[in-house]
Amino acid sequence: MGRFKPTLFLFDEPTTGLHLEDVRILLMVFQRLVDQGHSVVLIEHHMELLRCVDWLIDLGPESGDQGGQIMAAGPPDHVASVPESRTAPFLRA
């Protein structure tokens, strides 16, 4: 049997077009991957999903040429407390 190699999974907006129940199932799948020793990185705007992550990196302050700066990083409750974060008010809502 081969040696286990953890894998980095990168998903870009995986919840787009999904029903809320499908988002819940997707979250369980992501958790299974993490529980098995893999890493999951998401580019996402779905607030319910963002509230469940271990670590959040909020980029901004705008999009495109006006973005790319780290506005806040840490667990969602920390990011929710950062005044410069445009995501913070949505995490708190």
- What CATH number corresponds to the domain at position 81? 3.40.50.300
Please report whether residue 2 resides in a domain.
no
* Full-model pTM: 0.83
Q: What is the tens place of the pLDDT at every residue in 22-55? A: 999 999 999 999 999 999 999 999 998 999 999 9
Do 16 and 24 touch, CB atoms closer than 8 A? Answer: no
Please report whether residue 74 resides in a domain.
yes
pLDDT of residue 19 exceeding 70? yes
30-64 in b/e form (b: 16+ CB < 10 A) is: beeeeeeeeebebebebeebbeebeebebbbeeee
To the nearest whole percent, how much of the chain has pLDDT over 90?
91
What pLDDT does residue 3 have?
83
Please report whether residue 1 resides in a domain.
no
Number of structural domains found in the chain: 1
Distances (CA, A) of 47 to 3, 36, 87: 37, 25, 9
